[in-house]
């Protein structure tokens, strides 16, 4: 597995590129504003074929650069859960809400991902986990053999994603965190913000995760 990372944009959001070393196929996970360019350049320099942009959810800071990806890799398929499609199709709602100095082109995803869907990046196997709470269509992408989880804004290195947004759901967030925390402790967590960590470290050091796990289901 090849893993490249870049962080940036107005919300300092993480963008990950994961590739299969053998087939040279690659996928970009999330597309923060002003962030994807360097990773796409590295991909081209390393002879990687970016076959997709797989979004964890439809908040502006996770898909703002989608047109940049499409321009450089026109065949890349954009994946997003159907429940977050409206946010992506009408980004002006978010830019007005957060008073952002951004113009984000509307996005219509190529594929609606669903819970437990099996995907591939070359020979790398990926499982989609629907993890609502922060956003109705929030998903995480789990690489079981490599024990890597691209987790979006579910658990964010010592904290968790916001649940005070218009379509957030705290009870769903609790269930999603419990589900993710049932994965092996050694699983490397690539969150939407902050530094990579492991699920074991989050269990030990994250007070929000600890409170959820200790509370009655």
Give the count of beta carbons closer than 10 Å to the beta carbon of residue 83: 18
Distance of CA 165 to the CA centre of its chain: 18
Pairing state of beta strands 2-8 and 159-160? Answer: unpaired
| Sheet strands (E) in 24-147 | 25-29, 49-54, 77-81, 111-113, 118-121, 124-130, 139-143
Q: What's residue 216's pLDDT?
A: 65
Give the count of beta carbons closer than 10 Å to the beta carbon of residue 180: 21
Q: Tokens 């269930």 belong to which residue? A: 175
pLDDT tens, N- to C-terminus, the chain (217 residues): 999 999 999 999 999 999 999 999 999 999 999 999 999 999 999 999 999 999 999 999 999 999 999 999 999 999 999 999 999 999 999 888 888 888 899 999 999 999 999 999 999 999 999 999 999 999 999 999 999 999 999 999 899 999 998 899 999 999 999 999 999 999 999 999 999 999 999 999 999 999 999 986 6
* Domains within the chain, CATH numbers bracketed: 2-214 (3.60.15.10)
Q: What's residue 173's pLDDT?
A: 97
């Amino acid at each position: 597995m090849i893993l490249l990372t870049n962080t940036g944009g107005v919300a300092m959001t993480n963008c990950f590129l994961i590739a299969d070393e053998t087939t040279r196929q690659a996928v970009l996970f999330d597309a923060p504003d002003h962030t994807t360019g360097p990773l796409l350049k590295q991909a081209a320099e390393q002879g990687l074929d970016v076959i997709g942009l797989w979004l964890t959810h439809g908040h502006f800071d996770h898909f703002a650069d989608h047109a940049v990806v499409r321009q450089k890799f026109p065949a890349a398929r954009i994946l997003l859960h159907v429940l977050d499609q409206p946010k992506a199709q009408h980004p002006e709602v978010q830019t007005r809400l957060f008073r952002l100095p951004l113009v984000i082109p509307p996005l219509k995803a190529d594929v609606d991902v669903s819970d437990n869907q099996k995907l591939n990046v070359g020979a790398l196997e990926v499982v989609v986990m629907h993890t609502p709470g922060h956003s109705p269509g929030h998903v995480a992408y789990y690489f079981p053999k490599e024990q890597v989880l691209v987790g979006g804004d579910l658990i964010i290195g010592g904290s968790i994603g916001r649940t005070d947004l218009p379509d957030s759901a705290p009870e769903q967030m609790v269930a999603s965190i419990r589900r993710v925390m049932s994965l092996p402790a050694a699983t490397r967590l690539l969150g939407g913000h902050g530094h990579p960590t492991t699920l074991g470290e989050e269990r030990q050091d994250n007070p929000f995760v600890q409170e959820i796990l200790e509370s009655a289901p």
